[in-house]
Amino acid sequence: MVYVLFVVGFVILIVGANILVTGASSVGKFFKMSSLVIGFTIVALGTSLPELIINVFASVRGQTDLALTNVMGSNIMNTLLIIGVAALILPIVPGRTTMRTIVPISLFASLVLGLLVYIHLEPITTTLVIDFLEGLVLLALLVGYLLFSYFFTRRTGGDAPIAGEIKEYALWKSLLMILIGVAGLYFGGNWVVAGAVYIAADFGMSQALVGITIVAVATSLPELITSVLAALRKNSDIAIGNALGSNIFNIFLILGVSAMINPLPFSATLSIDLWVMILANLVVVFFVWIGRGNKITRLEGGLMASIYVAYIVWLFMTH
C-alpha cells in the first residue's frame, strides 16, 4: 500500500501543482497583473512546486538528506537530461532574456549553494550545514533575481520563457482550483515523503540516494514534459528557460525555505553531487556563450544526456 501511495502521491502532487498554478494565474489576470509578471512569479514557481512541497515535509520531519538531494538531483536532471533531450529534438537557440539572465544566474545559484555549504556566515558553525541565516540569504537572492529579470525584460522588450497561454476563469472557479491544488499538494507531498523513507529502509538504500534518483526524477517530470513539448513545437527558448528557471527556484526558494524550517546538514558524501550540478551548469554556459553559434546542438545534447545516464549508473554502483 505504501508503494501505491508513493506513486499516486506523485501523480496527485504534479496534477495539484498544475491546477494550483492555473487557478493562481487566472486570479492574477483577474486583478490585471501582466502576463510578464505572472510568468516570472506564479508560472515560474509552478514547475518547482512538487520539489518545494516534498522539501517542506522532509524538513519538518527532519529528513534533511532527502531535502538536499531532491534539489540537487532535480537540478542535475534539469540541466543534463532535460536540456539534452530537448536539444536532440531541436537544437536549442536561447533568446536574449534566457541567454543574459537565466543561463548565467542558474550557474550563479549553483555556485552560491557551494559557497554557503563550505563558507559559513556564522563563525561558531563548524559543521557543513545550511542554516536559518543562509536560508534567508537564498530567499533574498530569489527576490533579487525576480526583480532583475523583470526589469531586464521590460527594458529590452523581450519576453519571459513561458509555455502556454495564461487563461482567465471566473473568480470562484479560480479560487476553487487553488483550494483543490493545495489539497493535492498536501496529500501528494505527504505520501511521497513517507514512501521515499519506506523505500530507503526496505531496499537498504540511503535517503540521499532515493532523493537524488527516484524522488528527483519524479519531481522533474513537469519540466521534462514542458521542455520536450516546447522542442517539438520548435520553441527552444522555452525548453531551456523552463529547465534552468526551475534550477534557480529550486536553490533560492526551495532550499531557502527548507533551511529556515530545519538546518540542512551537508554530508561529505554529497560533495560529488554538488560538483556535478555546478559542472552541468558550466557545460550549458560553455555551449551557449562560448561554443559555435551560441546554441546547444543535437550532438551536444546527446553528450549531455549521456553524461546524466552515466552519472545515475555510477550512483547505483557506488552506493
Q: What is the mean pLDDT of residues 248-261?
A: 92
The answer on pLDDT for 193 being more than 80 is no
Give the tens place of pLDDT for each residue, 109-162.
999 999 988 876 555 445 578 888 999 999 999 999 888 877 877 776 655 555
Give the tens place of pLDDT for each residue, 160-173.
555 556 677 888 88
Give the tens place of pLDDT for each residue, 285-317.
999 987 777 789 999 999 999 999 999 999 888
- Give pLDDT, residue 142: 93
Give the tens place of pLDDT for each residue, 49-88.
888 888 888 888 877 777 888 899 999 999 999 999 999 9
Q: In which band, very low, low, confident or very high, does the pLDDT at 39 lie, cut at 50, 70 and 90?
A: low
CA neighbor of 13 nearest in space, from 144, 181, 154: 181
- Give pLDDT, residue 159: 54
**Could you tell me if 105 and 248 are in contact, meaning their C-beta atoms sit under 8 angstroms apart?**
yes
The answer on pLDDT for 38 being more than 80 is no
Percent of the chain clearing pLDDT 70 (strictly above): 90
Per the structure block, which three cell numbers stand in for 146? 525576480
Q: Where are the beta strands (DSSP E) in 57-199?
A: 129-130
**Could you tell me if 165 and 30 are in contact, meaning their C-beta atoms sit under 8 angstroms apart?**
no
Residue reference for cell 492574477 = 28
Tally of CA atoms within 13 A in the half-sphere of 267 that contains its CB? 13
Q: Identify the structural domains of the chain with CATH numbers, from first to last.
A: 2-318 (1.20.1420.30)
| Number of Cβ atoms within 10 Å of the Cβ of 203 | 9
